[in-house]
Structure 1
Amino acid sequence: MYINGAWVETDQRFTVTNPANGEAIGEVANAGPEHIEGAIAAAHDAFASWRKTTAYERSALLYRAWQLMLEQKQELAELMTKEQGKPLKASLNEVQYGADFLLWFAEEAKRLYGHSIPSARADQRFWVQKQPVGVVGAITPWNYPISMITRKVGPALAAGCTVVLKPAESTPLCAMAMFRIFEQAGFPKGVLNLLTTEDPRPVGNAFCDDPRVRKITFTGSTAVGKLLNERAGRHIKRVSMELGGHAPALVFADADPVHAAKGLSLVKFLNTGQACISPNRILVQREVMAPFLKELGKRIAAMKAGNGMDPDTRIGPLINEAAISKVDNQVKDALSKGASLLGGGERLLTPELAGGHFYAPTLLADVSPEMLIYREETFGPVAAVVPFDTEEEALAMANDTHYGLAAYVYTENLSRAMRVFEGLDFGIIGINDINPTSAAAPFGGMKESGLGREGAQAGIEEYLETKLGGIAVAGG
């Protein structure tokens, strides 16, 4: 762990394994109550001085961390592939994406503008100033173990907050590598603190209950987000939540079905389907269903599963056995209720894959609302295709979910694109675009997919308080 500018070891440790083969790749310290207290205390003490640093000083440190990330891009990506499982090319892309947030917020640090407001009174002036919230408790997920750190830490530091980070128990090594970069960049002690733990609950509880922690930022499941939000609400804490998704993709008959199948094959199987913006339901107008399924099936059949260090690998492992069970249960449930299996549908247990958590890239057609996969987030390599007839039907089906993170639309009709964009109850919508994300773009969901936004100018606002000054001007 990294607490108050020093690396801390403990007798209590836990093992980190490679999900592609089950091999142990490291051991890390397991935080106890004294470490949680020490990290929060360090962040609280450091906040008094860190908040007074100039925007230019904070910007320079973030810029240096960005440079170091790029210099160490290959090493970070290889570590991510070994610890999380995604193909090396995808890991390299994630490191670049993660670095983008440091660069973006290095620039945003210098743009924390206030403003003045005219008063109805001649002898009064108003001014508005932004100031940092305080100590931030950050909880990051295993599916994007580096970029989700920088997407939270970057704006928090730029705003003048201090941070205690708890990474996912499956991917602490990536977090440790990032904190070595922050250390090399020269951030003052106590400004950044890292708690690694096999049991996330004590840290989460401390973030919610300790009055010194003024803000919680969490990326993970909706179920856990609700628990954190409820507990933090007892103390009126600021929270931002990036939670589960159940993204629909709408393919209209006026779109090129081959082009749509190509794009959706890429985003559906991104990170082996373990992405919150991954399309969970692919809604296809009946007129183009046949060519769409033909092209999608061909592309899925060509996807090779394997260790992410193999350059030919397209499908990495799922994170653990529970993930395998969830995916397999959804597939079996769908088949029992009338879905058609057009490819995959089983765990991969060939000799070279038997030690890992691999599930065959799968294509299901004729998926309907009574199936689990139509309602639950899959987080795995299963493309579930649903037929529709009209635009109104497609919109109703797409919005028929408690989630509201991402959605995708394929159409060549500009009027339809605008109607559907406005009608979808989702925070991020790609129109003929499978990658509607960037450090410069606000990321976040509606309904049970979250609160607040990350990235863009909106991302730094999550870490700022608005302060009003009213001044009486005498004489003159």
Structure 2
Amino acid sequence: MAPETITTISPTTNKPILERTGPTDAELDALPKTAQRAFLTYRKTSLATRKTIVAKALQLISDRQDALAQELTEQMGRPIAYAAKEITTAVARGQYLVNIADKALQDTPGEPQAGFTRYIKKVPLGPVLVLFAWNYPYLILVNSLIPALLSGNSVILKPSPQTPTIVEHMHAIFLEAGLAPDVLQYFHSGDFAKIERLVQAPEIQLVCFTGSVAGGLAVQQAAAGRVDCRVGLELGGKDPAYIRPDVDLAWAASEIVDGAVFNSGQSCCSLERIYVHASIHDAFIAALQQVLAGYTLGDPSDTATNIGPVISRAAAQRIQSHIDDAVAQGATNATPDKKTFASPPSAGNYIPPTLLTNCTHAMTVMRAETFGPVIPVQSVGSDAEAIALMNDSHFGLTASIWTKDTAAGHALAHDVDAGTVFVNRCDYPSPDLAWVGWKESGKGQTLSIFGFEQFSRLKSLHVKAYPL
């Protein structure tokens, strides 16, 4: 059988820009075995040594951020004006994880008992398989790769076919930083059968997957026959925002638009449902329109562009189907008239930022993950109605409440079913707070001190002094 060829298609031009070759069966089978051999040595290195290696790698990433950002724009279409920010944020996130590693991985003493030394130790798992998405590849990768290595595990990476060079750079950078060969490996593939084969390899102790709910379920099913293989899933969202009647309209509108259409809405925690109190509904729609009118849709290599293409033709078709379904069921397309919105570049996968009003939960756009630059708005009459609608979803990643009364917002936040709830903020994973999905948004957690937990297992030690 001929080796698998993986082609990256530019979302800006819909033309091939890169090709990679997938592993043969023999090469694939060798990956976990090589990772296991490397792990047996690497797990004995001190945490101080691991921290030094990771810190040096993060500095090398920072030094090369402009080149790495350019590749992001070319491969996944994020406007160049914003691409470098991901690298900066990923490095800062990684540095935070390095700084808390000692605390996260420290031993926990047992209750004092005469004649005994008793404690709980965190020990590394073994080879970890990280399957990560294209939309924020550096940020997503840092969430798993850094704590995995700091905890003493070996790692195998598989990137999205859309952003294949990420793993190549990271592999070279970590070797340059002093990581032993084979502690970090990678492969390219678009064939789930290969992923399934690797997940089922007995050496793999943890699979970290970031992507769609369907993809997560497939990975979980692939590991279902193994008791000794953990699965961590960072999946999708349908993240709501509630605009209370006391907000500053212009400020809130600016934040909401940014939270909904940044990265062309291609974020698991982008705003996908907006609930606005009826008393300010019309005024807030006008404020959203004014903000949107200042955005530019176009070539992501142009520094003036705010919104680039979505990732693929299939994605553009799915997003448009959500818009069409909403309009067919009575929603109004309230997007401001603008030449670039009406006539986007013809070659790429461009979806104009779209503001929909008169939305209801009968519409797909309020139920299914859209993952595009769409702002669907539904009017509500009270806090209680807003919270009920926010919780009426299979997803539970993040949610936000917007109000001048921060005490009221804080109180309402406790009633929202989501892993992260913001008041007067959105779309911001903080490295010191756990990133955790409720419902179909995932299982396990990353970031914070709790983000280290899935990368080690507990070992209790009872050491009794020899009787003299």
State the TM bucket, normalised to the shorter chain.
over 0.9
Q: Rate the CA distance shift 1:64–1:30 in 2: closer, same or farther, 3 A.
A: same
Consecutive unaligned residues in structure 1, runs of 5 or more: 1-9
In the aligned structure 1, how far is the partner of 2:214 from the partner of 2:120? Answer: 37
In the aligned structure 2, how far is the partner of 1:471 from the partner of 1:184? Answer: 41
Measure how far apart 1:456 and its partner are: 1.5
Deviates more, 1:426-435 or 1:214-223: 426-435
Equivalence for 2:203: 212
In the alignment, is the contact (CA less than 8 A) between 2:293 and 2:338 conserved in 1? Answer: no
In the aligned structure 1, how far is the partner of 2:343 from the partner of 2:437? Answer: 41
Match of 2:142, as an amino acid?
T
Measure how far apart 1:350 and its partner are: 8.1
Please say if 1:266 is aligned against 2:258.
yes
SS in 2 for 1:333: helix
Equivalence for 2:417: 425
In the aligned structure 1, how far is the partner of 2:142 from the partner of 2:428? Answer: 18
Measure how far apart 1:312 and its partner are: 0.6
In the aligned structure 2, how far is the partner of 1:423 from the partner of 1:352? Answer: 41
SS in 2 for 1:27: strand
Consecutive unaligned residues in structure 2, runs of 5 or more: none
Measure how far apart 1:32 and its partner are: 2.6
In the aligned structure 2, how far is the partner of 1:17 from the partner of 1:351? Answer: 22
Question: What pairs up with 1:146-157 in 2 under 5 angstroms?
Answer: 146-157=138-149
Equivalence for 1:411: 403
In the alignment, is the contact (CA less than 8 A) between 1:43 and 1:162 conserved in 2? Answer: yes
Equivalence for 1:115: 108
Question: What pairs up with 1:323-342 in 2 under 5 angstroms?
Answer: 323-342=315-334
Superposed CA deviations along residues 116-163 of structure 1, whole A, max 9, x for unmatched, are 1116x6454421101111110110001112221122111100000110
Question: What pairs up with 1:74-93 in 2 under 5 angstroms?
Answer: 74-93=66-85
Equivalence for 1:388: 380
Q: Rate the CA distance shift 1:241–1:347 in 2: closer, same or farther, 3 A.
A: farther
Aligned with residue 65 of structure 1, among 51, 57, 61: 57
Aligned with residue 40 of structure 1, among 32, 41, 59: 32
In the alignment, is the contact (CA less than 8 A) between 1:258 and 1:291 conserved in 2? Answer: no
Aligned with residue 450 of structure 1, among 442, 450, 463: 442
SS in 1 for 2:258: helix
In the alignment, is the contact (CA less than 8 A) between 2:330 and 2:359 conserved in 1? Answer: yes
Q: Rate the CA distance shift 1:134–1:178 in 2: closer, same or farther, 3 A.
A: same
User: TM-score, normalized by length of structure 2?
Assistant: 0.95
Match of 1:273, as an amino acid?
G
Question: What pairs up with 1:234-313 in 2 under 5 angstroms?
Answer: 234-236=225-227, 237-313=229-305
Match of 1:109, as an amino acid?
A
Q: Rate the CA distance shift 1:418–1:439 in 2: closer, same or farther, 3 A.
A: closer
In the aligned structure 1, how far is the partner of 2:158 from the partner of 2:72? Answer: 17
Please say if 1:232 is aligned against 2:223.
yes
Match of 2:280, as an amino acid?
V
Match of 2:403, as an amino acid?
T
In the aligned structure 1, how far is the partner of 2:342 from the partner of 2:425? Answer: 35
In the alignment, is the contact (CA less than 8 A) between 1:70 and 1:99 conserved in 2? Answer: yes
In the alignment, is the contact (CA less than 8 A) between 1:428 and 1:436 conserved in 2? Answer: no
In the aligned structure 1, how far is the partner of 2:291 from the partner of 2:169? Answer: 35
Match of 2:127, as an amino acid?
V
How much identity, in percent, do the aligned residues show?
28
Equivalence for 1:467: 459
Q: Rate the CA distance shift 1:195–1:78 in 2: closer, same or farther, 3 A.
A: same
Measure how far apart 1:298 and its partner are: 1.7
Match of 1:84, as an amino acid?
M
SS in 1 for 2:257: helix
In the aligned structure 1, how far is the partner of 2:304 from the partner of 2:137? Answer: 23
In the alignment, is the contact (CA less than 8 A) between 1:65 and 1:102 conserved in 2? Answer: no
Match of 1:229, as an amino acid?
Q
Equivalence for 1:366: 358
Moved over 6 A (4+): 344-352
Match of 2:159, as an amino acid?
P
Superposed CA deviations along residues 196-241 of structure 1, whole A, max 9, x for unmatched, are 1132x13321243111000010100111112212332321221211
In the aligned structure 2, how far is the partner of 1:328 from the partner of 1:345? Answer: 18
Superposed CA deviations along residues 288-330 of structure 1, whole A, max 9, x for unmatched, are 1112111111222322111211001011111101101110110
In the aligned structure 1, how far is the partner of 2:380 from the partner of 2:150? Answer: 46
Match of 2:49, as an amino acid?
E
Q: Rate the CA distance shift 1:359–1:344 in 2: closer, same or farther, 3 A.
A: farther
Equivalence for 2:188: 196
In the aligned structure 2, how far is the partner of 1:110 from the partner of 1:122? Answer: 28
Equivalence for 1:129: 121
When the two chains are superposed, the root-mean-square deviation of aligned CA atoms in Å is 2.1
Equivalence for 2:11: 19
Question: What pairs up with 1:180-195 in 2 under 5 angstroms?
Answer: 180-195=172-187
In the alignment, is the contact (CA less than 8 A) between 1:156 and 1:162 conserved in 2? Answer: yes
User: TM-score, normalized by length of structure 1?
Assistant: 0.93
